[in-house]
A and B are shown apart, each in its own frame.
Chain A
Amino acid sequence: MNNSFPRLIDGMCATLRTEVLSRLDDEFARGQVFGVINLLNTFKSRADWSTEFLSQQVSVQSHALEQVRSLIASLPHAPEVATLTTPSVVSPTELLSLRDSANLEINKLLDWLASAKESLPGATALAIESELRKSMRREIEIELKNSPRPLFAEMSSGQENPI
């Protein structure tokens, strides 16, 4: 996800109050909506993103950075590659921060590779790019594997089974 967990909960509660309750007259249905708002607020104070898929993403990035570090170790004027230090117990917030730091590092390496490519041995340049791209691809695959089917048809039509 690209939005924070608490903001999503706040947005859902606000939408239910302003867009749904304001158009809903049935007493029982209104009670159910308030029940949902109550539970959402409970989630906000007790739940967060799963650390499992974030850990997978960070692990992929960490592996890629290690590989690149060893590939460029013997090159003159090679940039320093940061090491991802993962504490034994981490919160989703820390994992998100680690993931973003790793991506910044990958961006820096992509910039360096673009400027240094001509002066690097062809095979080394290819291997570095391949490692970085493998990491990007895996990060995206992990995210997609943990995403439900989007409901754009329903969202744009307001119908359960639009044609």
Chain B
Amino acid sequence: MNEELLPVQIEDYLQEQTGHAVQVGPLTRFAVGFSWKTYLVPIAGGLPEAGGASELILRLGPSYGLFAPYSAMPEFLSMRSLESSAIPVPKAYWAGDNTETFGAPFLFCQKVNGAAVVPWVPANTPPLDEAYRKSLGTEFIDALAALHSVDWSNQPIAQMAQGINIENAALNNVLYWEKQIERWAMRPYPAAQWAIRWLKDHCPVAPRVAIIHGDYRTGNFLEENGHITAILDWELVHLGDPHEDIGWVSMPMYMGGSPHFCRLTEPEWFYQRYSEKVGFQVSMASVKYYRAFSLLKLAATHMAAARCFEEGRFNDLRMPAMGSQIATCLRQLEKTIESPL
């Protein structure tokens, strides 16, 4: 992947897709994300095939990134599947997994206005303004309930179903992440092994199989004036038990020292409103199960960060800092399993 060649490569690719010449301005790289590279691509005169947009977002999944090798397809298929839904997602235009075009899997999508709410805040940070929190919190819950209500069976994302059903959703997931831990861990972690066994022995039956965002939290959506403008970062999307996203939302790491899920919603409010919107009652046993699962998944992500850094794939110092949080995840994981509902 050569960044200097990127503007010309983008012009060539877009010309091939649209059938007319496209002029690209200087790219801006966003400093967000730990894995995919994200660029703002200015298009001189706008692009009719993208609703006349004068800016596009290009995401590239480099071979040295966290969890590489990547595929742009899960993100592309999910964004395409949600295009006409109530969930605010950027429009996805083009994507591919071949590395000949840009040297890495790629995705072009709509640029949406807004800013991300930081999930991690220093101690003593004042809480979010109450009206702002309530407004964002309401949309945060409603968008998740809407996502979990989508009939995906006739959508492009159905390609990812791979025999999933309400009985095997939990176990398939645990087996997948167990493999990731085998791949990434640089040393044995008995606490993780013990937790994996617990997760295998306590698999819940899902109320339905839904589209799971996989990393639904503050930091992964844009907001403007207290309203969510786009849910982003669909790399970990898959089909599964809707409680999985709730478990992720409820992790203590994202509460920012507040009593609120993702600094936004009181747990009781979240459960009540979500249950009303989604059409089934949230199971507290399943929330506990998937919170434990989420902590294992987060620990696995940190193990991957530590290994990628150790192997010299990159020198991004945020990675070993993430790696130093494995113990925190495993401690919370054990506490979660031991806790009453």
Contacts and interface: CB of A to CB of B under 8 A. Distances in A.
Main secondary structure of the interface of A (DSSP, over half): helix
B318 A162 contact: no
A100 to B, nearest CB: 5
A128 interface: no
B320 A163 contact: no
Given A3-B323, A158-B31, A107 B317 contact: no
A156 interface: yes
A3 B320 contact: yes
Contacts of B9: none
B125 A2 contact: no
Interface in B179-219: 186-191, 193-194, 197, 219
B315 interface: yes
A7 B120 CA distance: 27
B233 to A, nearest CB: 13
B197 A114 contact: yes
A140 B315 CA distance: 26
A107 B190 CA distance: 5
Given A143-B327, A147-B324, A110 B31 contact: no
Interface stretch (B97-105, B234-242, B306-314): B306-314
Contact of A11 (B120, B189, B309): B309
B335 to A, nearest CB: 10
B306 A2 contact: yes
B317 A11 contact: yes
Nearest to A100: B187
A162 B118 contact: yes
Interface in A102-153: 103-104, 106-107, 110, 114, 132-133, 135-137, 139-141, 143-144, 147, 149-153
A163 B121 contact: yes
B316 A15 contact: yes
B188 A107 contact: yes
A157 B120 CA distance: 9
A93 B189 CA distance: 18
A19 B41 CA distance: 23
Given A2-B303, A155-B321, A11 B194 contact: no
9 contacts: A2-B310, A7-B309, A8-B320, A11-B320, A110-B194, A137-B331, A147-B327, A147-B328, A150-B328
